Amino acid sequence: MKLVSCLLTLLSSAVIANPLPNDEKLLDSLIERGVICDNQTFEEKQESLQIYLANRFDKNKPNNKNNNKNTQSNPTETKCISANKNK
């Protein structure tokens, strides 16, 4: 029983010691790089971040080669992600 409680203590401290990613720092970095548009409300920026992360996750999938070609050949595509324009 002592072993179980010791393991639980170690696991819980590892979870607490590993902080969650800071969305605001990530947002600031993406805005600075021009990936996410700056002229948005806080909520729209959060939604744009979710769009960016979803797109990033989809690009990492091996079976999405056709989607990448379509986005690159679209000349009217905006350069930054804006939640209010993507609705």
Q: Please check whether residue 29 is in contact with residue 20, taking contact to mean a CB–CB distance below 8 angstroms.
A: no
Read off the pLDDT of residues 1-60 as tens digits, 9 standing for 90 and up. Answer: 888 887 778 777 655 655 556 788 899 999 999 999 999 998 999 999 999 989 888 877
64 occurs within a structural domain: yes
**Count of structural domains within the chain:** 1
pTM for the model stands at: 0.54
Residue 72: pLDDT band with limits 50, 70, 90: very low
Q: Which domain holds residue 43?
A: 22-87
Question: Which string of DSSP letters, residue by residue, matches 31-65?
Answer: HHHTSB-SSS-HHHHHHHHHHHHHHHHHHTSTT-H
